[in-house]
Structure 1
Amino acid sequence: MAKYFDVHPANPQRRAIAQIVEIIQSDGLIAYPTDSCFAFGCRLGNRAAIDRIREIRKLDAGHHFTLVCRDFAQLGQFVHINNASFRAIKAATPGSYTFILPATKEVPRRLMHPRKKTVGVRIPDHVVAQAILGELGEPLLSSTLLLPNEPEPLTQGWEIKEALDNQLDAVVDSGECGTEPTTVIDYSDGEPEILRYGAGDPARFE
Structure 2
Amino acid sequence: MAAVFIKLYPENPDPRKISQVIDVLQKGGVIIYPTDTVYGMGCDIFNQKAIERIGLIKGVKPKKEHFSFICYDLSNISEYTRSLSTPVFKLMKKALPGPFTFILAANNKVPKLLNSKKKTVGIRVPDHSIPRLLVKELGQPILTTSIRDEDDVIEYSTDPELIYEKYKDLVDVVIDGGYGNNVASTVVDCSSDQIEVIREGLGEISEIM
Work out whether the TM-score is over 0.5.
Answer: yes
What is the letter of the counterpart of residue 105 of structure 2? Answer: P
Q: 1:22 matched to which residue of 2? A: 23
Contact 1:38 1:177 in 2 (8 A): yes
Specify the SS of the correspondent of 1:55. helix
* Counterpart selection for 2:148 from 138, 146, 149: 146
Q: 1:92 matched to which residue of 2? A: 95
Contact 1:85 1:191 in 2 (8 A): no
Contact 2:51 2:114 in 1 (8 A): no
Residue 41 in structure 1 maps to residue 60 in structure 2 = no
Q: What is the aligned-residue identity percentage?
A: 33
**Is 98-107 or 86-95 further displaced after alignment?**
98-107
Specify the SS of the correspondent of 2:179. coil
**Is 14-23 or 157-166 further displaced after alignment?**
157-166
Tell me how far 1:108 sits from its aligned partner.
3.5
Q: Give TM-score scaled by structure 2 length.
A: 0.91
Contact 1:98 1:184 in 2 (8 A): yes
Counterparts of 1:5-20 in structure 2, within 5 Å, are 5-20=6-21
Structure 1 segments unaligned to the other structure (5+ residues) = none
Q: 2:121 matched to which residue of 1? A: 119
Distance change in 2, residues 1:149/1:113 (3 Å): farther
CA RMSD of aligned residues (A): 1.9
Specify the SS of the correspondent of 1:100. strand
Distance change in 2, residues 1:174/1:110 (3 Å): closer
Q: 1:185 matched to which residue of 2? A: 188
Question: For residues 191 and 205 of structure 2, what CA distance do their matches in structure 1 show?
Answer: 17
Q: 2:198 matched to which residue of 1? A: 195
Residue 64 in structure 1 maps to residue 97 in structure 2 = no
Tell me how far 1:112 sits from its aligned partner.
8.2
What is the letter of the counterpart of residue 181 of structure 2? Answer: G
Q: 1:55 matched to which residue of 2? A: 56
What is the letter of the counterpart of residue 92 of structure 2? Answer: I
Question: For residues 193 and 176 of structure 1, what CA distance do their matches in structure 2 show?
Answer: 30
Structure 2 segments unaligned to the other structure (5+ residues) = none
CA deviations over 1:91-115 (Å, ceiling 9, x no partner): 1111110011111233233638736
Question: For residues 37 and 116 of structure 2, what CA distance do their matches in structure 1 show?
Answer: 23
**Is 26-35 or 147-156 further displaced after alignment?**
147-156
CA deviations over 1:61-81 (Å, ceiling 9, x no partner): 421100110011022221121
**When the two structures are aligned, how many residues end up with a matched partner?**
205
Question: For residues 113 and 119 of structure 1, what CA distance do their matches in structure 2 show?
Answer: 11
CA deviations over 1:42-69 (Å, ceiling 9, x no partner): 0112222222222222224421100110
Specify the SS of the correspondent of 1:40. strand
Contact 1:31 1:168 in 2 (8 A): yes
Q: Give TM-score scaled by structure 1 length.
A: 0.92
